[in-house]
């Protein structure tokens, strides 16, 4: 299944890079970037690239309190909002990268993460970092998706 997904990703990437496909900036209301140096997400054709997201409370720039599990849940809800604004869903996610401030938080992060990807989870890398851009953040997650990937992979 992963081979078909990667082949579909490659084909869509080639299609998305053609001159007829426009690059669209996706900045959902309530989760705007902290600085103007990046967009929340970019959509090009059926490809959606979501920037590293943290557990900010929608409508603010404040990181939600309560530890890594609570922050992971809010981070994934923010990702869901970005994907839906771009016309994709969590089922369309093909890969995620998780950045943890402390690898001791892996189990707590993973317990919440699997609630969002119950079946056929995306490819994932999890790395420990020495710092995140927002000092109160314990986790940051970025991902990429192919809109309507279920119809491409599950034939």
- Structural domains in the chain (count): 1
At 19 the pLDDT is 45
Q: Which two tokens stand for residue 79?
A: 């990702």
User: pTM for the full model?
Assistant: 0.83
Structure tokens that stand for 29 in this block: 């209301």
- Give the tens place of pLDDT for each residue, 2-35: 444 444 443 444 344 444 579 999 999 888 877 7
| CATH number of the CATH domain containing 30 | 3.30.1330.40
Range of the domain at 82: 2-153
| pLDDT for 94 beyond 90 | yes
**By C-alpha distance, which of 130, 150, 149 is closest to 140?**
130
* Residue of 73, 37, 38 lying closest to 54 (CA atoms): 73
pLDDT tens per residue across span 49-89: 999 999 999 999 899 999 999 999 999 999 999 999 999 99
Give residue 148's pLDDT: 84
pLDDT in tens, 31-44: 887 778 899 999 99
């Amino acid at each position: 299944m992963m081979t078909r997904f990667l082949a579909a990703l490659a084909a869509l990437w080639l299609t998305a890079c053609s001159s007829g496909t426009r690059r669209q900036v996706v900045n959902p209301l309530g989760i705007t970037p902290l600085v103007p140096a990046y967009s929340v997400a970019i959509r090009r054709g059926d490809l959606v690239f979501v920037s590293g997201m943290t557990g900010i409370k929608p409508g603010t720039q404040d990181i939600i309190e309560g530890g890594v599990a609570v922050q992971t849940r809010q981070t994934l809800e923010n990702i869901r909002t970005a994907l839906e604004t771009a016309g994709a869903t969590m089922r369309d996610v093909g890969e995620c990268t998780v950045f943890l401030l402390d690898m001791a938080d892996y189990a707590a992060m993973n317990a919440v993460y699997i609630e969002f990807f119950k079946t056929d989870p995306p490819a994932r890398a999890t790395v420990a970092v020495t710092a995140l851009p927002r000092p109160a953040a314990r986790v940051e997650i970025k991902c990429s998706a192919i809109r309507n990937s279920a119809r491409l992979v599950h034939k």
